Amino acid sequence: MSAENIIKDIEEKYGQMGENPETYLKGLLQAKPINYWDYIQVDTLLTLQKTRTDFKDEAIFVMYHQVTELVLKMMIHEIEQLVFEDLIETIWIDKLNRLNRYTRMLITSFDVMKYGMSYDDYNTFRSTLTPASGFQSVQFRYLEIYCTPLENLINEAGKKRLPENPATGDLFENIYWKDAGTNRQTGKKSLTLRQFEEKYLDSLIALADKVKGRTLAEKVKQFANPSGELIQKLKDFDNFYNVEWPLVHLETAQHYLDSKGENKAATGGSEWKKYLHPKFQQRKFFPGLWTEEELVQWGN
């Protein structure tokens, strides 16, 4: 494209916005050339690893979780487009391929945690992290809410506690992850859960109300005759995220907390063996795509 055509396109672009294109062209003359470190904010990024001890592997622990949060942000970035835009099936398949790729990254990345830290060092510095817990990752909860109605995030025990016509607040009170920090006999909540709710519960409820009727599980119903490929991609995502990833997480926790039969407590105080297992969580984004037998065998 010639310089003349480029200038013409710039004039049309800013003219349609009701702006003076000459102002923007003058600004471009003063702009500094972009470089990698400023664009990626490398200097800032590399200052975000704040450890609480002098153990070298704590930095690995921090960076691993920061990478995980960035991957979750990429996933939410893709999911929001599917939720809030009306996209054709081929784009859905492309987005699901991306989501499955990102989830496989999360699954395989647990090797960094399992084999990348000193067993003894980890079991010493982890005590300084209490009551912080990966349980408090709000992006994990946002992603679930975008993907499926809240009813699909409540296990069988939770469903029995629901009133006849549950409001959003009732659904959240019985959502599967509350069991990790709530004594259901006494109603007492752990500090980890109380901190999380104080900071994020209002935003979680607001998001659930915002996407009601538009979650991935509901939006996919716009396709009267979805292709076998689309259905398989959805099932793959459901299995990767809700079965394979939690199981790898559980195996990694067992490596550090129970490999010597010590049954150490999680920093958040949860019954981690039970909480992390898919059969306990019973979280399914697209239950309508699975057979009854597959649902019964979920997580086996």
Q: Is 79 exposed, middle or buried (0-12, 13-18, 19+ CB in 10 A)?
A: buried
Give the per-residue pLDDT at 257: 78
Q: Are 59 and 49 in contact (CB under 8 A)?
A: yes
Q: How far is CA 134 from CA 61, 64, 176, 252, 270, in A?
A: 11, 11, 15, 13, 11
Round to whole Å and give the CA distance between 70 and 224: 34
Q: Print pLDDT tens along the chain (300 aa).
A: 788 898 899 999 999 999 999 998 899 889 999 999 999 999 999 999 999 999 999 999 999 999 999 999 999 999 999 999 999 999 999 999 999 999 999 999 999 998 999 999 999 999 999 999 999 999 999 999 999 999 999 999 999 999 999 999 999 999 999 998 999 889 999 999 999 999 999 999 999 999 999 999 999 999 999 999 999 999 999 999 999 999 999 888 888 776 666 666 666 566 667 678 898 889 999 999 999 999 989 988
Round to whole Å and give the CA distance between 289 and 281: 18
What are the φ and ψ backbone dihedral angles of 182, each rounded to 5 degrees? -130, 130
Round to whole Å and give the CA distance between 121 and 87: 49
Give the per-residue pLDDT at 152: 96
Q: How far is CA 75 from CA 12, 31, 50, 81, in A?
A: 35, 33, 25, 10
**Where do the structural domains in the chain lie, given as residue ranges?**
4-31, 55-296
Give the per-residue pLDDT at 289: 96
> What number does CATH give the domain 55-296?
1.20.58
